[in-house]
Amino acid sequence: MKKSLFVKTAVALALTAPLLASAESQLVTGADSATARLDLRVVIPRVLFLGVGAGAATPLASNGGINTLTFDYSANPQDIGTTLAAASISNDGPLPSGNAIPVRVFGNDGQITITATNETNLVSGSDTIPFTQLSVTTTNAALPAPAFGGTSLPTLNGKVTNQTANWAYSYANATTPAFGTYTGRVTYTATMP
């Protein structure tokens, strides 16, 4: 008795399973037309990407490397404090070289705000150079570089922002600090509503 009930249940499920798994179909006879419908779906995830330096070349993926930009007066120490540029300006990141750093921002859900957060000073032991001695410009007005401690709004198209630029950094060299290697970090944060 149990075996018979099991067989009947299995047969009923086998007969209905194709109907549950099949796409729509219609059989007609004569001159009529047959129709079948299919629903289509495209899923676009909400994405926010910011890459600075080597991370800008990464195709919407994370890159944990932090690049370093160096203004080195070792070859022209007589110019320290004179507003003249360093003889060597280099970065350990991708092209372009020197003081230009590639940047990319991508987002698909409204206006992005980029915020620059940094310490007050670059530090070498107990000596400091104020961050106000540094500045940054952009090669693309649609991706403005925020001033240190400031914000910027990249241009968007509808709800999508997809901008690239090179941000060029400058050291004013308007003070005469004690010798040393002064370091500091700026953190850029992109936010989207």
Residues contacting 84, CB < 8 A, separation 6+: 76, 173
71-99: b or e for each residue (b if 16 or more CB lie within 10 Å)?
Answer: bebeeeeeeeeeeeebeebebebeeeeeb
pLDDT in tens, the chain (193 residues): 555 655 555 555 555 555 555 678 988 898 789 999 999 999 999 999 999 998 898 788 888 889 999 999 999 999 999 999 999 999 987 778 889 999 999 999 999 999 999 999 999 999 999 999 999 999 999 999 999 999 999 999 999 999 999 999 999 999 999 999 999 999 999 999 9
pLDDT value for 30 = 87
Instruction: Provide the pLDDT for residue 58.
Output: 72
- Give the global pTM: 0.82
| Domain boundaries, given as residue ranges, for the chain | 48-191
Three-state secondary-structure class, residue 145: coil
